[in-house]
Amino acid sequence: MEKTAKRNSRKNTWSLLMLTLPGLAYLLINNYIPMAGVIIAFKSQNFAKGIFGGEWIGFENFAFLFKTKDAWIMTRNTILYNLAFIVIGTVCAIFLALLMTELTKKVFSKLYQNALILPSVISMVVVSYIAFSFLNSDSGLMNKSILQLFGFPEISWYSEAKYWPLILILVYIWKTAGYSSIVYMASIAGMDKSIYEAAKIDGAGKIRQIKEITIPLLKPTIIIMTLLAVGRIMNSDFGLFYQVPMNSGALYSTTQTIDTFVYRAMMQLNDTGMAAASGLYQSLIGFMLVMVANGIVRKIDSDNSLF
């Protein structure tokens, strides 16, 4: 009896392990081999010497990278854009969620929500087409209609770097606010209604209820979402910074992020070492930030930490 149970459990272990194999194989190829491949950041490029071959050159790629203006510009842009996204994005998402929860007709709120989420499920390429229809110099809506209406001179948007922080933040908010508000809506929906009833009896109006009940109760969610976003502060949406500005060289000072730099180093300059060095620099700082952020989240609410 005992023996058959043991044999069975061993068999079960084997069967379950079999189920994990395809997934594990994919993780190995898609994630773990490239992790090992970061050694190319410390090598000279020499494909004759095998895939990840080449001479060891230590930190030369990094030294070269941090001598360039690009390193500073892409780091600054990546972090500043992300900070702006975190602050403005969170405010917009909460604002949306507060309004959405006030809606009384279920049918309409579903419809509204669908419209608000729609921008987040269309591709960045289509978004770049939309931006183009607003911004292109010859016939864009901005130059032809809006600026003319107010009597401003035309602007050649794709060659003026100074407008892009505003443009990219607007595009980002337009694309993500509806999606981000989902979490806060769920959080508000889960709140105890009796607190609101009590506040009503005490004569607190809607605005006061929001200020003194909803926002304080949302605090944990806000803190956790923010910390997780801080963990991703070195990453950027490649499409937003590459395709929406049309890969325009004149705009690099305000559109270059680490992700777009890695692409350009890799595919346009064919400098694999430099691309790998930038990628590793991004991943290492990202890793440290995720660890710190997760540690703080675990202290606040261990249910919501990554591990």
Residues 56-95 interacting with another protein (rule: CB under 8 A):
none
Measured from the CB atom, the residue of 1 and 19 that comes closer to another protein is 19
If one asks whether residue 195 binds another protein (CB under 8 A), the answer comes out as no
How far apart CA 181 and CA 120 sit, in angstroms, is 12
If one asks whether residue 26 binds another protein (CB under 8 A), the answer comes out as yes
If one asks whether residue 23 binds another protein (CB under 8 A), the answer comes out as yes
User: Per CB under 8 A, which region of 70-78, 81-89, 121-129, 155-163 contacts another protein?
Assistant: 121-129
If one asks whether residue 215 binds another protein (CB under 8 A), the answer comes out as no
User: Per CB under 8 A, which region of 62-70, 74-82, 205-213, 248-256 contacts another protein?
Assistant: 205-213
Residue among 283, 284, 282, 277 at smallest CA distance from 60: 277
User: Per CB under 8 A, which region of 80-88, 158-166, 211-219, 271-279 contacts another protein?
Assistant: 271-279
Site for another protein in 231-270 (CB under 8 A): 238-239, 243, 246, 262-263, 265-267
Measured from the CB atom, the residue of 72 and 108 that comes closer to another protein is 108
| CB 285 to another protein: min, Å | 11
Measured from the CB atom, the residue of 113 and 161 that comes closer to another protein is 113
If one asks whether residue 48 binds another protein (CB under 8 A), the answer comes out as no
Q: Which member of 77, 78, 143, 255 binds another protein (CB under 8 A)?
A: 143
Decide: 231 and 286 in contact? Cβ < 8 Å: yes
